[in-house]
A and B are shown apart, each in its own frame.
Chain A
Amino acid sequence: MSETNRVWKYGNDINTDMLFPGKYTYTCSTADEIIPHLLEDLDPDFANNVKSGDLILAGKNFGCGSSREQPALGLRAVGIDAVIAKSYARIFYRAAINQGLLLIECPQAVDAYREGDDVELNLDQGEIIIAGKTYTFPTLPEEILAIREAGGLLEYTRKKLEQKK
């Protein structure tokens, strides 16, 4: 069980342009290049103040839009513990798995959260505790968990290739 730091709360349909503006897509690909522009057009405060162990809470369809992976890569690199949202767009969902960024789908938790509430995550049990109340979410399927456990898709792929050799 881990106690998290700050919670950044956003609304519905947060698209990939808000998470990382498209104009940088072909010039920024490494974590160092991405981080200063994270959420630039949505919340200019974020990139300056986000800390490892922070959480993001959001509404439905988080990460919709482009297939760019910079949002997932960047959020993982700054140490976001998990994103908790009502739902996700599918390419972003895959990108997050591939980066080892944890996405939790739990609409009840998002609705319950009030500014200043303590949030705890219990991943093994699939539980979020907000202001003392417990909400459950489905744990990931095995195939996908294996990618996350390896630390991301490339690490997972390297392991597989090495075994084949």
Chain B
Amino acid sequence: MAKTFAEKLLARKAGLAEVEPGQIVTVKPEHLLTHDNTAAIIGKIESDLEKYGVASPELSVIVLDHVVPAANEKIATNHKKIREFVKKFNIKHFYDAGEGICHQVVIEKGHAVPGTIVVGSDSHTCSYGALGVFSTGVDRTEAAALMLTGETWLKVPQSIKISLSGDFPTGVSAKDLILQIIGDVRADGANYCSVEFHGELDKLSLDDRITISNMGVEMGAKIAIFPVDDLAANYLNSIGVEYTSYENIWSDPDANYLKEFEYDLSKISPVVSKPHTVDNVASVTEVLGTEIQQCFLGTCTNGRLRDFEVAASILKGKKITPSLRFIVLPASRSIFNEAIRRGYIETLSEAGAIVLPTGCGPCLGAHQGVLAPGEVCLSTANRNFKGRMGCKDAEIYLASPETVAVSALYGKITDPRSEL
């Protein structure tokens, strides 16, 4: 019988001939991602760790990124506790503050290998679907149990097929596409499901695909998965994940889907998610002129090189409006370094941007760009929930790097097509 990606991969990983949606299987993920929350996770199992140790020193990938450098004593103490744990249990894959946002680091360091399972105590673990990884978020307690046992259960999901064709018009990019999809599918429209992307994918760069997979969870998806084509395989090979080191699994042509959607990229236009839900999607033309006090370019959704390239090309030789703070933050050290080499950082800083060290920064409202009551932020992040940037009486609009960079010039939401 024809099978979807999720059905094939989970059957293989569970050692079964085949599985059906709804079936529960036990699997041993290749990796478990945890970040600053590792302190709370190991705190739950301190005596168990003494007694049983970790299941495998290769399993955990730990990246300090959420509140780095530490914003206060409590967080600094947590980071210290994590470093001690890493040393004591000989954890092989540890990346300290300054390496980057966990999801970008997992990809760049070659831990996102096609056909494997990665679970993470972070909801945007689904990002590695861009590279054919069955990757999904879990809570801290589950991460703790995984550290001890190395295994967990997964329910085989139903699948949704999204077919893409065409190419984006000027000023429109992958962020607009995924916001449009979430607006159509709704915040719960893909709950528990595997979302597969099909069709003409050659117009989507790897950066674009990561942006799209990253936001899968905002429609409830368990995974948001792309096939591993030459573009993905060549990238992986360039970072040391060789062509022959993984199995390239993809769904059968006549597999069974719960729902199917089609998008022609040439018909996508700039959109925003209005406060306070991601699926509250509107055309940028409906919110033109909305006054903003802060713009934010960064996060695991849109802090990659192409995003910096776009922003730098828009702001080259220009100045942002003085009434606005424009925070920019590269998703990893390697992106930061390359953006410096290519002159993007200089361009943005000269335009008036505040360049922050790599990490999550203001995305979760813990530090570095918290909003005041009544303020409005236009952000490239993936969530605009009430209170997300630290103040429940502030508003967040989500948009593409193009829309954010152009709007920074005027202090109000602006259609990027008017400048490009």
Contact = CB atoms under 8 A, between A and B. Distances in A.
Co-assembled chains A and B: yes
Interface of A: 13, 15, 17-18, 21-23, 25-27, 29, 41, 60-61, 64-69, 72-73, 87-91, 94-95, 98-99, 141, 143-144, 152-154, 156-158, 160-161
B109 interface: no
Contacts of A18: 385-387
Contacts of A61: 187-188, 191, 220
Contacts of A21: 387, 392
A37 to B, nearest CB: 11
3 tightest A-B CB contacts, nearest first:
A61-B188, A95-B139, A69-B139
A154 B45 contact: yes
B56 to A, nearest CB: 14
Interface residues of B, number: 49
A30 B215 CA distance: 29
A89 B220 contact: yes
Contacts of A13: 187-188, 277
B281 to A, nearest CB: 14
Contacts of B377: none
Contact of A65 (B43, B75, B149, B385): B385
A29 to B, nearest CB: 4
B242 interface: no
B192 interface: yes
Nearest to B157: A90
A2 to B, nearest CB: 25
B400 interface: no
B279 to A, nearest CB: 8
Contact of B144 (A64, A87, A154): A154
Contacts of A160: 149
A60 B11 CA distance: 30
7 contacts: A13-B187, A13-B188, A25-B37, A26-B36, A29-B43, A95-B141, A95-B142
Given A25-B37, A154-B45, 13 more contacts: A18-B386, A21-B392, A22-B385, A26-B66, A26-B74, A61-B188, A64-B220, A67-B121, A68-B140, A90-B191, A154-B141, A161-B48, A161-B52
Interface in B217-260: 217, 220, 222
B138 A23 contact: no
Given A65-B385, A91-B137, A94-B138, A153 B145 contact: yes
Given A61-B191, A69-B141, A15 B365 contact: no
Interface of B: 24, 36-37, 40, 43-45, 48, 51-52, 66-67, 74-75, 78, 120-123, 125, 137-142, 144-145, 148-149, 153, 187-188, 191-192, 217, 220, 222, 277, 364-366, 383, 385-388, 390, 392
Contacts of B36: 26
Contacts of A98: 139, 141-142, 145
Nearest to A70: B140
Contacts of B187: 13, 61, 64
Given A69-B140, A89-B220, A25 B364 contact: yes
A90 B220 contact: yes
A66 B140 CA distance: 11
B392 A153 contact: no
Given A61-B220, A64-B220, A161-B52, A17 B188 contact: no
Nearest to A21: B387
A105 to B, nearest CB: 11
Contact of A153 (B51, B141, B192, B385): B141
B138 A22 contact: no
A128 B121 CA distance: 33
Contacts of B192: 90
A66 B386 contact: no
Contact of B139 (A17, A65, A72): A72
B141 A67 contact: no
Contact of B24 (A65, A67, A141, A153): A141
A89 B191 contact: yes
B6 to A, nearest CB: 13
Contacts of B365: 22-23
Given A90-B191, A95-B141, A157-B148, A26 B366 contact: yes
B142 A143 contact: no
Nearest to A158: B48
A154 B48 CA distance: 10
Contact of A144 (B24, B137, B277): B24
B43 A161 contact: no
Nearest to B125: A67
Contacts of A91: 123, 137-139, 217
A94 B24 CA distance: 13
Contacts of B51: 161
Nearest to A13: B187
B299 to A, nearest CB: 14
Contact of A152 (B40, B141, B366, B392): B141
A26 B66 CA distance: 9
Contacts of B125: 67
Contacts of B217: 91
A67 B388 contact: no
Nearest to B36: A26
B149 A68 contact: no
A27 B51 CA distance: 27
B388 A90 contact: no
